[in-house]
Structure 1
Amino acid sequence: MHRLCLLLLCAAYLQGGFNKLTDFGSAIAEMQHFGLAPAGPLAALVIALELGASVAVVSGWYRWLGAGFLGVFTLMATFVANRYWDMAAGHERFMTANSFYEHLGLTGAFLLVAWLDLQKGEDGTR
């Protein structure tokens, strides 16, 4: 059950990384859409981060590091992609604000996973 919960937590990053990997042109377009440059290298870095850190979290191999990376990445991406405070009032602003705060929750979940993993002893106990 523990591993399933971790897999669910990482599902969007596994799916996103895989989609970007199989459609690299769209990954570059996404970087350009958000004004990030150089788009190609950043897209490659995001793919490696999303897939590599997710595997670390689910497998338990340096789980704290993978979860920490995904937490920091999610926080940074949230401030880039969900700038609801720059939008006029209306449905789009409402939806973007919801997404912003949902991603803050995801950030907290990843940082909690990292913290709990660091609390384990050598034998896996707390």
Structure 2
Amino acid sequence: MPEPMTSLPLVPASAAGLPRWMRWLRWLRWVGLLLLCAAYLQGGLFKLADFPGAVAEMRHFGLNPPVPLAIATIVLELGACAMILLGWRRWLGALALAAFTAGATFIANRFWEAPPEARFMMTNAFFEHLGLAGGFLLVAWHDLRERATRHG
């Protein structure tokens, strides 16, 4: 059974005590979450718009069976982003994207196997994606901590 939403999911509970002139900051959190999710929203929508391309991407990385994995990737990217942005089990959506990002970076950015001319860019991409996964872990931690505070 879904948990009831007692307040707007986009507004952090901590914003209630802010002075009026600082209340605009409550939206800063949501914009940050939107930016964190931007690559997954774009990726999911592009895969949805070009499903044969999404299947080809799965084949390119040697992932089988490619069609179900392409569907699962689209559902994960868009569904987890919706959970994060709407505040419904945000922690779960964030953990899902953290795990997906960490796993995908070990598949797509294996810099240690890259030729020397590609190694620098792949190394950067690898560690950027680890940082993104860390950002999602922080979102999950913050959401779980906020829930614990609200529920005693």
TM over 0.5: yes
Offset from partner CA, 1:32-91 (integer Å, 9 cap, x none): 00000000000000000000000111111110000000000000000000000011212x
1:7 aligned residue (34, 37, 49):
34
Distance 2:147 2:73 in 1: 31
TM-score, scaled relative to structure 2: 0.79
1:96 counterpart = 2:113: no
Distance 1:121 1:81 in 2: 35
1:40 counterpart = 2:67: yes
Q: CA deviation at 1:124?
A: 4.7
Map 1:1-126 → 2, pairs under 5 A: 1-90=28-117, 92-121=118-147, 124=150
Q: Which runs of 5+ in 1 are unaligned?
A: none
Provide the alpha-carbon RMSD of the alignment: 1.5
Offset from partner CA, 1:77-117 (integer Å, 9 cap, x none): 00000000011212x11101100000000000001100110
Regions of 4+ moved over 3 Å: 121-126
Higher relative contact order (CA 8 A, sep 6+): 1
Query: Matched residue pairs, number?
Result: 125
SS in 1 for 2:96: helix
| Percent of residue pairs bearing the same amino acid type | 56
SS in 1 for 2:63: coil
Distance 2:149 2:134 in 1: 26
Pick the structure with greater CA Rg: 2
TM-score, scaled relative to structure 1: 0.95
